[in-house]
Amino acid sequence: MQDKLLNIYWQEQCAEMVPEISEGLKVVFPGLEPFYAGSKEVPSENYDPSRYQYDALGLLQHLPEEELSVWIVAEDIYHPGYRYLYGAALPNKAIVSSFRPDTLDELKKEVCHEVGHTLGLEHCRGKCLMHVSRNGKELEKKPLLLCRRCQKTMEKALPKTVDLKDARRRTSFFKQFS
Ligand SMILES: [Zn+2]
Ligand SMILES: [Zn+2]
């Protein structure tokens, strides 16, 4: 079966992070084929000058409806009622901000987390990538890996199954070098 295509868009300032993020996505979701769709600037219409932040849902409207996609932006993003967001997802599309995460490893987790949502995964209370992160500590703590239960859900959404042992080995590699 063919892998599912995931279009990655990025704001120019994030360009050099894209290859590593793409590798992380392939480890967590082996049935996904990340595609470098191109750089995409954030429109000023979604900027809220009173908050110095961009409206995440407004930005998501600029992604195409019909394809699976994620947009990595450097700007701080928000949703009314939240001080800031690491990322946000709708069915089929997600946005992630590199503004808050301290490390590339944390950004990778957030991208994979939001992509997990676009594929139908919900928040999980296990030791799992789909655990909610409300602050840097929670983001730092969770693994760059799905728990077994979320893994099972993914196997239905994506054609290829995950070799857990191989994924563990490869994610520990990422942690050491990023
Ligand atoms: Zn979430
Ligand atoms: Zn889980």
Considering every ligand atom, which ligand is closest to the CA of 142?
Answer: 2
Tokens of 69: 């996609």
pLDDT at 174: 33
114 catalytic per annotation: yes
Residue segments in the chain with a per-residue pLDDT below the cut of 50: 161-162, 164, 167-178
Give distance in angstroms: CA of 141 to centre of ligand 2.
Answer: 14
Give distance in angstroms: CA of 73 to centre of ligand 1.
Answer: 17
Catalytic site residue from 75, 106, 110, 114: 114
| Residues, CB within 5 angstroms of ligand 2 (ion) | 124, 126, 128, 130, 147, 150
Tokens of 19: 């290859």
Domains defined along the chain, listed by start? 4-177 (3.40.390.10)
| Cα distance between residue 55 and residue 113, in whole Å | 19
Reduce the DSSP state of residue 138 to 3 states and report it.
Answer: helix
Name the one residue in this structure whose structure tokens are 């760059």.
144
Tokens of 132: 């909610």
Give distance in angstroms: CA of 125 to centre of ligand 1.
Answer: 11
Give distance in angstroms: CA of 132 to centre of ligand 1.
Answer: 5
Q: Could you report the per-residue pLDDT of 101-132, keeping only the tens digit for each?
A: 999 999 999 999 999 999 999 999 999 999 99
Give distance in angstroms: CA of 121 to centre of ligand 2.
Answer: 8
- Phi/psi at 75 (5° precision): -75, 155
How remote is the C-alpha of 26 from its chain's centroid? 12
| Cα distance between residue 162 and residue 145, in whole Å | 11
